[in-house]
Amino acid sequence: MLEWTGESGPARTAATDGTASGWILSQLAEEGVRLLAGPGRTDLRACHGPRCVLYFVRSHPRREWCSADCGNRARVARHYRRHRDAAESAKA
């Protein structure tokens, strides 16, 4: 169970059922609250990768993607778009 303790944020008091899975769920809930309500919430960003639905905590001002794979997909899509547009304008 989580209790809000004011400035320090959420505190886990005890798992509701005393099982390991209950403890894990309470730990996950506590970290989620810290992420969404803590001071680092301003660094939470949506990934700009094509069709990516993930969010990430931005660790560098220029970071736009959740992973190197998403960054690579975005660059490949941009390259394909440029070359497709150039080919279409050459036909006209």
Domain boundaries, the chain: 1-37, 42-92
Distance CA 32, CA 38 (A): 9
Q: What is the pLDDT of residue 55?
A: 92
Convert the pLDDT of each residue in 5-33 to its tens digit: 766 666 656 555 778 888 888 888 888 88
Q: What is the pLDDT of residue 31?
A: 85
Average pLDDT of the chain is 83
Q: Which helix (H) or strand (E) holds 44?
A: strand 44-46
pLDDT > 90? residue 70: yes
**pTM, entire model:** 0.59
Closest CA to 52 of 26, 80, 81, 73: 73
Q: What is the pLDDT of residue 54?
A: 94
Q: What is the mean pLDDT of residues 24-50?
A: 86
